[in-house]
């Protein structure tokens, strides 16, 4: 589980709760059934039209798989895995057993292609680069879909506000105008509140999270591709570490003396 993302959701929920508490002792003042229906029902309906209903659950799976249960890419660990495979490959050992110890699926795929011994080195690198581009494309598409959904709640919040104003203005001249004014104003303001909260505390942050993780994954896979290129050349382990360290920030770079067997 991605505890950092979960922790972020907890913090945002606490901030919202405390903000509401500081505004009013009666939390039920912020509850309005028509507003919930307009914002959430409208967002679901617009999403179903925009992306087709059968794809809606794939968006939910993306949220669960990549945000809540996704793991942060640790590129120093990726370098260590490349070194482990490079050592086995240099010695002429079978990659089958070494591959089982790998945690990164992208590197596992590369090892499987190398192990087959059918495709030449240059073609293997080209294949892995194409796969990295396609993975990044699909990941960014998923993020952009959620970012698009984030536009709907504020829009339906404004629709709810318009509905509330129509009801409010339509009853100003009646005998029970004062009694109807309160519920109408509640729909006006609370619907806007729901739309802003759902968009800015759920959909937009999740989309940005996915975009950031897609970029990190792209760079990590580029590192692995260069590592595969070097290991197929049976390059010196020190050279592998130093070249792959170029992808890391200075504070994250690993010392070759701690990972290279002398």
Contact between 30 and 24 under an 8 Å Cβ cutoff? The reply is: yes
pLDDT tens column, 17-73: 999 999 888 888 888 888 899 999 999 999 888 887 777 777 777 777 777 776 677
Confidence of residue 199 (pLDDT cuts 50, 70, 90): very high
CB atoms within 10 A of CB 205: 18
Answer whether residue 174 shows pLDDT above 70: no
For the segment 124-149, the average pLDDT, to the nearest whole number, is 93
Write down the mean pLDDT value for the chain.
86
For residue 175, the model assigns a pLDDT of 66
> How far, in whole angstroms, is CA 205 from its chain's centroid?
9
- The C-alpha angle 61, 99, 257, rounded to 5 degrees, equals 110
pLDDT tens column, 200-223: 999 999 999 889 889 999 999 999
pTM of the model: 0.83
The DSSP letter of residue 54 is G
For residue 92, the model assigns a pLDDT of 78
Q: What are the boundaries of each domain within the chain?
A: 31-259
Confidence of residue 1 (pLDDT cuts 50, 70, 90): low
């Amino acid at each position: 589980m991605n505890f950092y993302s979960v922790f972020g959701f907890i913090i945002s929920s606490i901030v919202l709760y405390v903000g509401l508490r500081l505004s009013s002792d009666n939390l039920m003042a912020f509850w309005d059934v028509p507003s919930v229906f307009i914002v959430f029902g409208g967002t679901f309906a617009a999403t179903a039209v925009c992306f087709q209903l059968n794809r809606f659950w794939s968006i939910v799976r993306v949220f669960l798989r990549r945000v809540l249960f996704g793991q942060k890419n640790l590129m120093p660990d990726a370098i260590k895995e490349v070194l482990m495979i490079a050592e086995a490959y240099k010695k002429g050992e079978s990659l089958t057993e070494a591959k089982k110890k790998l945690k990164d699926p992208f590197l596992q795929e590369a090892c499987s292609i190398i192990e087959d011994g059918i495709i030449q080195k240059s073609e293997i690198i080209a294949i892995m680069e194409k796969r990295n581009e396609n993975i990044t494309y699909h990941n960014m598409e998923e993020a952009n879909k959620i970012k698009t959904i984030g536009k709907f709640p504020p829009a339906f919040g404004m629709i709810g506000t318009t509905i509330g104003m129509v009801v409010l203005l339509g009853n100003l001249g009646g005998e029970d105008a004062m009694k109807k004014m309160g519920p109408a104003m509640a729909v006006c303001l609370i619907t806007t509140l729901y739309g802003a909260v759902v968009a800015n505390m759920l959909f937009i942050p999740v989309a940005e999270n996915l975009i950031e993780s897609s970029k990190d994954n792209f760079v990590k896979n580029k590192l692995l591709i260069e590592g595969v290129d070097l290991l197929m050349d049976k390059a010196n382990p020190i050279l592998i570490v130093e070249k792959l360290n170029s992808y890391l920030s200075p504070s994250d770079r690993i010392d070759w003396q701690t990972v290279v067997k002398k």
